Amino acid sequence: MTSGLVCVVGSVNLDTLVRLDRLPEVGETLLGQPLGSLPGGKGFNQAVAAARSGAPTRFCAQLGDDGAGQELRRAMLRAGLEVDLHLSEVVPTGSAYIAMLADSANSIIVARGANAELTPDAAAAAVEGASVVLTQLEIDPRTAEAALAAGRRTGARTILNAAPAEGVTPSLLAVTDLLVVNETEAEALGGIDALLGAGPDALVVTLGSHGARWLTPGGDDLAVRAFEVDAVDTTGAGDAFCGALAAALAGGADALSALLRASAAGAVTTTAVGAQTELLTPAAIDRLLVGAA
């Protein structure tokens, strides 16, 4: 099946990973095992996931004029993304610090850096020709809104991953066709019933090890179970879900098929360290789907 273009507008960070047995208390110093630095940021992770799930993908982001920015640009090109990059000569490239715990869970601190300077005009211009526009909230919510509004004007399907759950306004939800949140984000935004009445045509709630749901104001409620895999790192699983969901919808998948493919992509991502594993491919998604049938 030929896929339409996915345009992801969002954040890009250089992630620093450290393995810990537990999180430190306030004032406490712990020794951890350094695991190196990897490309990350919700926007970048989702763009890579969309591309590795089979969709031609454009990524619009802002970098700092520094070594981290140069490294991340090279990573984008290696991932096969069409890039629409903007440069800050004042603010450094975004960064994230990830504590990976023994049970494969993680805790993350994000410093937005240049991500916060991506402008609404840049975002709106980037979505031209896209079938699906996907954004998140590690960038300025006004920039996310501009991307979705421009997508609406050109006939694209618009997806907002409201993560983190900050800066969500009625005008932002009004240009959102599909809102994606996890359980914590849904609660922070007023709960499922409130979100279903807030404007989006559909709501997807990810439930971690319990799967995911696709709900609509009209009463549709599709649910899929999580796929069983040997998870080693949950970093980026939600981003892989969003990117694969966008790719599936750009390829013409219906709601249930898109939800299944997104859930499979999230599961594949947990089987390797880092948020952008090369293990994520259309074939890997297909294998999980066949195995669960």
Q: Which two tokens stand for residue 78?
A: 């290696």
Report the run of H or E that residue 196 belongs to, with start and end: helix 192-196
* Angle at alpha carbon of residue 54, lines to 49 and 57, rounded to 5°: 65
| Closest alpha carbon to 9 in 40, 55, 42 | 42
Q: Which two tokens stand for residue 131?
A: 């079938």
Q: How far apart are alpha carbons 28 and 208 in whole angstroms?
A: 30
Block residue for tokens 């300077």: 117
Query: Any catalytic annotation for residue 239?
Result: yes
Q: Which two tokens stand for residue 235?
A: 């970093």
**74: number of CA atoms within 13 Å, CB side?**
8
Cβ neighbours of 174 (radius 10 Å): 14
| Type of residue at 66 | D
Cβ neighbours of 291 (radius 10 Å): 10
Report the run of H or E that residue 69 belongs to, with start and end: helix 67-78
Find the catalytic residue in 15, 21, 239, 254: 239
**137: number of CA atoms within 13 Å, CB side?**
17
Would you name the residues annotated as active-site residues? 239
